[in-house]
Structure 1
Amino acid sequence: MPIELKMPALSPTMEEGTLARWLVKEGDKVSSGDLLAEIETDKATMEFEAVDEGIVTQILVAEGTDGVKVGAVIAMIQGEDEDAAPSAVAPVQSVPPVAAEKVAPTTQAVEPTAAAPRSQAAAATPAPSQNNDRVIASPLAKRIANNKGLDLTAVAGTGPNGRIVKADVEALSGGTVAATAPNASLRTEAPVVKPTAIDTDIPHEVVKLSNMRKTIARRLTESKQQVPHIYLTVDVRLDALLKLRGELNASLESRGIKLSVNDMLIKALALTLIQVPACNVSFAGDNMLQYSRADISVAVSVPTGLITPIVTDAANKSLSKISTEVAELAARAKDGKLKPHEYQGGTASISNMGMMGIKQFDAVINPPQAMILAVGAGEKRPYIVDDALAIATVMSVTGSFDHRAIDGADGAMFMKVFKELVEKPLGLVA
């Protein structure tokens, strides 16, 4: 019987995608694990692999087609031992994104970050069918799961007929399922957003939105409408941290590592989350998720928008390790090469616009995270040092907190501990 090849959910926030490029053509023989196409999601361009063997008999969606809904049939595969027959499935047309979408409760579209994914379980098709307790998964997915010691019996596959594929295993190995599945029940219908037609005689050009930009727009609107933000700002003296950074960089020069101020702030944020666990949480309706690990989502600007790769367990990593990881993640984010588990999840975010000269700003929370730290520029200011007026290097830092999950007093304690860690930075290397 012909096998329908459907548009996969390659990211938990993916509602639709662009079929960027076919890697096969009609008549080609494919095996399980072969790459079939490149698909642009709301996060990156990802490769789509075959889960069944057979011959590609019909390609229903042309290269470059936008707005292909998850689950839409994009091609047909015929088993080698079957007679090929034309499919009655009509080619998919590009669909403009005008319908209402559901709230997707997980990482990454904040000020200024990319869209947050929802749980893998919620985004996927129904759970994979099992015959005699056999998990239906591609050979590549099984091999990855076996190497990582992962149990696939509870994983919902996004491949044809619920088949578990590589992306599902990578998301599971990144901890996304466990961290975000409890929030799946929180999704509600978002208001219908109609496209705004602008009648203008001002010379202009129409620029088509990327999938990432569409998701950013939706997620930012949802966050501001549904999450009650509370903003708390402190001024932090940087002189001691800058001095320590200079000394550390001198010792790390032979290893080719150069710490940035942002690397040190990531570590300070992670340590603060561990010291003030009331802020390392997610609001989940009738429940609260209390995290015991600090995974920091770091805002990175990319050509198509913004995305937040994650430094996992940052509180227990050295500054040099954080620096190396952030540089490598940022480079691959700009090339669109991040894997799902590298940008899905996170317990809190940091957005640093100080490097662009911004003195102070309020960032938008990235649900289901309950806080984000907005970092302004360090600048010389009059400041009281040892009870005397002096000139010091000071930056303004604003924490945005989800008031459903975090009380003002807990947020204030968080900002106090963060300030102390930055102003006495030896605690970052202890």
Structure 2
Amino acid sequence: MHILPPGRGPDSGRGRAILMLCHFVGMVDLVALPVWVGALVQHYGFDLEHAGMIVTAFLLGAVAASLFAAPIFNRLPRLACVVGGYGVAALAFFGAAQATSFPVLAGLHLVAGCAAGMALSVTHGTIGRSGNPHKLFAIVGTALGVAAVGFYAAVPPAIAAHGGSVLFKVFAGLMALAALAALGFPQVASRAEQAGAAAPLPRAAWWAIFGVSSMALNQALTYSMLDRVGIMRGFSQEQVNQLLVVCGLVNLLPAAIAGLLQKRLNPVRVALVAAPLQAILAVAISQSTGYTGYALAASVYAAVLIFMHTFLFGLIARLDPSGRALASTPAMMMTGSAIGPALAGAVAMRAGFDGLAMLAVGVGAAATLFFSLVARRAGAAAAQTI
């Protein structure tokens, strides 16, 4: 087995710090969706459908890159993929900050998504090859929550003061920072290249992937419209921005709690509770006419997915130790996210927020079915905690 130099692996302090940054930057859509769509509507004059399509272009690019990278994860030049990926994404977003037309913005978002998706796939595959993937994913998830608080506190007011291009300049800066940090990207030992890297993925892993993708779709359907739902219900932009800060504070907790409860909760049962709970909260957000109900549901909405995904990440790592399945994590998360903003905008314009609620219930039912199939296929082995 290849022995890593001291301090160069994913479990070292430096390795964890780099993976935290690369995870946050690559998963920026999970944090920024409502701000992203809101900025394109308010500052660029797009309707909900076209704003959603621009964000979808980024997410589709990330999905395509992840689907390409995951099967060959163990043969990729990982350092070059992460540094180059985030570097190209930084340039694309810098270009987007200078653009105003729909075709140019959509094209640059697609390029940025492809580049960032490649980098994020390698990041997640590397986390999956660490000594304890559940614990490390909980750590990087907590870092995402910490960064989200700063993002929500600083970026929406800056957009309000200086225009929508500020958002793309922030994205460009974050991507450039990740590219520089990734020059020290952690290495992983070669055990999975030598054993099991070509074996087919177990069916339980596939059902888990489909379940996570379904919950990511529900997340994107509702969260991408969170800003617009609030404004159209008559709440002020300041109230919505304050809620986003609260969301960021709440999201500090779920990954950390999931890490602490690693050996106490059954990951499949966590997923079977999380999927219908997420759908219930989506209905509450889209149907609430009072600010209190809207804010309470919205404040914990993303936390459900973050908590569940930490457990499923560890479960999939155990089902497929090669890291290939986890290298497809961006595709799991962003396939749903890619469809979500455009679909949510189209449904909201044609069927209103009632239509969004009905769609969320249907997607939640599908996610619950997929996780029930995980329980059946994985059996006792899948039910155990790591």
TM-score (norm 1): 0.22
User: Of Structure 1 and Structure 2, which has the larger fraction of its residues in strand?
Assistant: 1
Q: Which has the higher helix share?
A: 2
Considering Cα pairs closer than 8 Å and 6+ residues apart, tell me whether 1 or 2 has the greater RCO. Answer: 2
Q: TM-score, normalised by structure 2?
A: 0.24
**Higher CA-based Rg:** 1
